[in-house]
Structures are given as structure tokens and as C-alpha cells.
A and B are shown apart, each in its own frame.
Chain A
Amino acid sequence: MLSEIIIGIIAAAIPLSITFVLVGIGEMFNQRAGVFNLGAEGIMMVGAFLGFYVEYIMKSGPGSSFLGMIAAIAVGSLMGAVMAVTCVNFKAEQGIAGIALFMLGWGVAGMLFRVYIGGTTSIVGLKALDIPFLNSIPVLGAILFSHNIMVYITLVIIPLSWYLLNRTAWGLKVKAVGTAPRAADTMGVKVDRIRFQCVVIGGAMAGLAGAYLSICQTHIYADNITAGRGFIAVALVYFGKWKPTGILWGALLFSLAHSFQRSIQVYGIDFPYEIAVMFPYILVIAVLAISGSSRIMAPTMLGRPYYREQRD
């Protein structure tokens, strides 16, 4: 019984963590390049709506789910481009621009939902798949091989993003413009262009994460579907020290804590629920406090626009 509960907790945490991983990886790219985007939450909302809407008008089915996700990536890229124009080209204050983008996304998604859907309705979405043979492996089968396909796609995205960042010339440029943009510029790297690309990638990933929520997790769109997950993902980038694997572990730890507290409640373990729901947040704060070296790992020019014509 206890082993079943533990397996259930871990198995439930994996799909839950995917949202954070997707947004976190995207945010990692733009933060590595020196731009933090607090608007990820708003981009997620628009992505969640558009992904849902595309499947809704195409009357469901796996093909329409994937089209929905592509639409969410496209709109996320577009919103990322808006953020990039504002903060990279026009050098606006990144925190304020991010909050404005969040509010814009929330409003736009809600308005489009009201105009084009008009009320709560559901779609088929992408459901969990039991992978033949593998899902019957004891313990591992239940934990790893009974999830929707986006879980596996995300697990491929993690090493890909690591490779992109650490084994390609482009990745080197990204790290350079986030740490020493003046030096990168003198070496011929187009700082603003690289930053722009990274913010667009961050937007695309946030859009995809939003679509994951509506298409894979809830099969529905409702106002404020993201419920702060975009902001948590931004925090998890710090937690993960701007590394894809760090973000994965952070997302898994946070999701495990959530899954654990839900199981405590469901199985009737006598524990105040108020503390149980706080537990994941307390855990993240505690780990952040203990790992005080996070700031050392941070891109040194994070949040600071690059003025080519000015002296440092």
C-alpha cells in the first residue's frame, strides 16, 4: 500500500513538472542572454487559449492538438518579439515591461475566450498513453511510461537545450551577451540580435507550456488557468542555476512536494491542510536560501540593457 502511494506521488509529479520545465527552459535562454521576462505568465495564458481554440474549432483529435500547440508556439513567439522590441530595442525596464505583458496576456486571453468561445467547454486533448511492454515494468512502468506524449517530448527538449547552450557557437554567444556584452560586441557578436532571438525562444516555450495546460492537463480553458505557474517557473530558473538539468530538478522537486501534499490530504493523514499546501513553497524558499551561491552563477548583465554607444 505504502509503495503504491509513493509510486503514485512520483508518477503524478512528472506531468505536473512539465509546465515548469517548458517555461523554465525558455526563460533560461532569455535570462542567459541578459533579459528576464516576467510576462511569461501572460504568454502562457494566450498560448493556453489559442492551443485550446485551435483544437476546439477543428473538432478535436491528436492532429488538431498538435496544431493547437504549434499555434501556441507561434503566438508565444510573437509575444516574445513584443517583449524583445520593448526591452532589447527600446531598452525599457524589463521588470515593468514583463508585468505589462502579463497583464496584456491575461486580458487578451480572457477577451478572446469570451468573444470566440463564450462559455466553459471542453476538448478531447492529448491523454496519457500506456506505452506497451514498458508500462508493465515494475515500479518504473507506472512512474515513467504512462504519460501524455508531451512529457516525452519535453524530456527530449532538456538535453537538446543543454546541447544548444553548451556545445554550439550560438550558445556561446548567448552566454557571452548575458555576461560580457561589451566583449561580445567587440568580437563581432550582435548583442541585440542574440538577445532578441532568446526572448522569442522564451516566449515560444511559454506559449507551448500554456497549451500543455489546456490541451494535455485540463482539456479546458478557463480564466487564469495558469494560476501563477509562469512566475514560479521564473523562480525555478534561479533555483536551477540557469542550467536545463537544474531547472528539471527544481521543477521535479516542486511538483513532488505538491504531489506529496495532495496525497497527504487524500489519504486522510492527520495534518493541517493549510501547512500542506504551503509545503512546496516553503521547500523552494528553503532550498534557495541554503544554496546561497545562486547569485554567483547568475548572468552578470541580467536585467541590464546594452547601450552600444555608452561606456560601461
Chain B
Amino acid sequence: MKMLKRILLIWSAIGMISSSVLAAETKLALVIPSTIDDLAWSQAMYQGIKDAQTELGADKLTFEVSERLWNAVDAGAAIRQYALKGFNIIIAHGAQYQSLLADIAPDFPKTSFAYGTGFNTPEPNIFAYDPHAQEGAYLLGMLAGLTTRSGIIGLVGPIKAGDAIKYNKGFEQGVMSVNSKAKVRVAYTGSFGDLVAAGEIARTHIKAGADVLTGTSQQTVGAINVVAEKEGLVWLSSDMDQKSIAPKTVLAAQVYNFKNVILNIVKNRASGVYGGKHLELSFANGGLILNFNDAIIGIAPKNAREKILAAKEKIIDGSLKIELN
């Protein structure tokens, strides 16, 4: 009888602990280089967290955001403060924060840190998330190659690093897969947030004959408006669907769905894993979404959508590989 009582006591204690773990509120902090309404990289993550919160319940996941922390020193101070305040998950949304997290994470072993784009997890409590930008870029490249009439495609890049390299490589391969005569011209602003410079590069591309343009990072909103000034030109967007700015210009978009990254981190923490994992966003796991703008998709050749969707299936089943080297 005593034995039975003991087992029941232990069982109920375990039950109480586990239910308290599940019922406990997860506090998440997001540190971003720009703002939550940049209609690009930072807003995509903000949206992902909100979607995850909707799925888990507002009482299960709460979050705070610190914006405009592109400066590593300021970002480091914010990250440390969040950790000291007892936040469970701290997301530093940018590849530039990797070394910063590697420095801070050992001081807070029970806090999960995450950054991306990246794959290195230098500490056991750091997650790295990695959107396969090249996958959507390949499909958008196909659309560009099929749609261009001038045979010149302009790419507005931020800084030649991380996501931008993957996007550009995937995009160029996509163009070449359907239109080997087309030229993809790449120009960088040297910044992630200089939308005036992005607009000027778009203008230069257009003067040089480009009729299909694309680009990455938050600065692209400046380029889209320049493209929208002239009829018959189209823009292909990445990170988020940017057609709200120019509904008659944005032909298709690759959208990062960060919700799964957040859910994954929360789930891992519940099972006692605080980091050390490389979380990928791909078409196969729903981390990437391809949107067509149905209002203007008629600009592209009739069979373009079918060809692109067929290629997407090949990317998902692994029969189509995109080279990054």
C-alpha cells in the first residue's frame, strides 16, 4: 500500500511538472536590423512569430521586439538585457549577429538563441535558421527568363553576402534553365536599407534595357516603385509578397514562412533541447511559399505557371538540385 502511495505521489508530481511546462508561457524576444513594417526580411519574421502565437495561443507565447538594431553593439546590449529579464527564446534576425550570440549564449545556458541566415550552431543553445532562398529564386528566375522580351533582367542586390548570394545564384540558374540567351545583370547598393540607392540601381537597369527586375532585402521597396513608374515592366519579390506596393508590377513572390521555425524552437525547448540545430526553410517543409499575382500573370507566357510548378515539385522531391558553389 505504501509502495502504491509512493508511485501515485511521484506520478502526480511528474504530471504537475509536465503540465506546468506545457502550460508555461514562452517569452520570446526579437531583435531586428530594420522595422516590423519593412515589407521584407524583418516583417517576414515578425509575421511568422504572430502566426505562431495565433497557433499556440496568446497566453502560451508572448513576444517583444527591438527594432533598428543593425549595429552589433546596440544589438548585443538588447540581447543581453532580454536574457537577463528571463526571456526563453531570443531571435537575432540576421547573419551578422552570429558571433554576437556565440559570445552571449554561454552566459545563459537555459535561454535559446537563434539567428539566420546561417547553419553554424557554435553553442548548444543556439539555433541557426536557413531559408533556402535559392529555391524560390530559381523559380522566379524561370519566370523572369520566360517573361522577358528584351532579354535583359536586372537584379538589385544589397551586400554580396548570405541570403543575397544564394538568391542570386538560384535566380541566374533559373533564368538559364529556360532562356540561355537572356542576360542577368547584377548590381549591389552596398547596403541593406538604402531604398533611394536601390531605386537608382533599378533606374539604371531599366535604362540599360531590363524589363524584368528582382532583388532582396528591405531596400527593394525603393526599387519596386521605380519599376512601377513604367508600364510593361515587372518585379519579382523575395522575403515577402510585396504586391501591395505595386499591384500591377509585382508578378510573383517568394515568401519566407518563419512560423515553422518558431514552432520548431518552442517544441525543441519543451523536449529539453535548447539549441544546436540547423533549421531549414524550404518548399518541402513549408518554410517557403511561392505566390503568383493572378491579376497580371497574363504578362507571362501561358504555360509559364505550369512549368514553374513542375519545377517546384522537382525541387521538393529532390530531383532538381540548385548549385550554390
- Chain B residues 168-208 with CB under 8 Å of chain A are 183, 185-191, 193-197, 199-201, 203-205, 207-208
Q: Are A273 and B187 in touch, CB under 8 angstroms?
A: yes
Q: A110-B35, A220-B195, A273-B160 in contact; A122/B246 too (CB < 8 A)?
A: yes
A contact residues around B38 at 8 Å (CB): 120, 222-223
Q: Are A218 and B188 in touch, CB under 8 angstroms?
A: no
Q: Are A273 and B188 in touch, CB under 8 angstroms?
A: yes
Chain A: residues with Cβ within 8 Å of the partner, total of 36
Q: How far is the CA of A121 from the CA of B39 in the complex (A)?
A: 9
Question: Quick one: CB contact mask for B9-38 with A, threshold 8 Å, 1 for yes?
Answer: 000000000000000000000000011011
Q: Are A277 and B196 in touch, CB under 8 angstroms?
A: no
Q: Are B34 and A223 in touch, CB under 8 angstroms?
A: yes
B contact residues around A121 at 8 Å (CB): 244-245
Q: Are A218 and B204 in touch, CB under 8 angstroms?
A: no
Q: Does A171 count as interface, using CB distance less than 8 angstroms?
A: no
A contact residues around B291 at 8 Å (CB): none
Q: Are B225 and A218 in touch, CB under 8 angstroms?
A: yes
Q: Does B267 count as interface, using CB distance less than 8 angstroms?
A: no
Q: How far is the CA of A43 from the CA of B191 in the complex (A)?
A: 22
Q: How far is the CA of A220 from the CA of B185 in the complex (A)?
A: 25
Q: How far is the CA of A225 from the CA of B229 in the complex (A)?
A: 19
User: How many Å from the CB of B42 to the closest CB on chain A?
Assistant: 10
Q: Does A138 count as interface, using CB distance less than 8 angstroms?
A: no
Cβ-closest chain B residue relative to A11: B207
Contact of A277 among B189, B193, B218 (CB under 8 A): B189
A contact residues around B221 at 8 Å (CB): 120, 220, 222
Question: Quick one: CB contact mask for A266-308 with B, threshold 8 Å, 1 for yes?
Answer: 1110000110011000000000000000000000000000000
Q: Are A220 and B225 in touch, CB under 8 angstroms?
A: yes
Contact of A122 among B68, B190, B193, B225 (CB under 8 A): B225
Cβ-closest chain B residue relative to A262: B204
Q: A220-B195, A227-B191, A273-B160 in contact; A114/B185 too (CB < 8 A)?
A: no
Q: Does A136 count as interface, using CB distance less than 8 angstroms?
A: no
User: How many Å from the CB of B233 to the closest CB on chain A?
Assistant: 15
Q: Does B222 count as interface, using CB distance less than 8 angstroms?
A: yes
Q: How far is the CA of A242 from the CA of B39 in the complex (A)?
A: 40
Q: Tell me the interface secondary structure of chain A in the complex.
A: helix
Contact of B194 among A220, A227, A274, A278 (CB under 8 A): A227
User: How many Å from the CB of A260 to the closest CB on chain B?
Assistant: 10
Q: Are B68 and A223 in touch, CB under 8 angstroms?
A: yes
Q: Are A219 and B225 in touch, CB under 8 angstroms?
A: yes
B contact residues around A83 at 8 Å (CB): none
Contact of A222 among B187, B195, B205, B229 (CB under 8 A): B195
Q: Are A262 and B201 in touch, CB under 8 angstroms?
A: yes
Q: Does B154 count as interface, using CB distance less than 8 angstroms?
A: yes
Q: Are B204 and A8 in touch, CB under 8 angstroms?
A: yes
Q: A120-B39, A213-B196 in contact; A266/B154 too (CB < 8 A)?
A: yes
User: How many Å from the CB of B297 to the closest CB on chain A?
Assistant: 21
Q: Does A224 count as interface, using CB distance less than 8 angstroms?
A: yes
Q: Are B204 and A12 in touch, CB under 8 angstroms?
A: yes
- Chain B residues 217-269 with CB under 8 Å of chain A are 218, 221-222, 225-226, 228-229, 244-246
Q: Does A166 count as interface, using CB distance less than 8 angstroms?
A: no
Q: Are A266 and B200 in touch, CB under 8 angstroms?
A: no
Q: How far is the CA of A121 from the CA of B37 in the complex (A)?
A: 10
Q: List 14 A-B contacts (CB under 8 A).
A: A120-B38, A213-B196, A222-B218, A223-B38, A223-B193, A224-B193, A227-B195, A227-B196, A258-B200, A259-B204, A266-B185, A266-B187, A266-B208, A278-B190
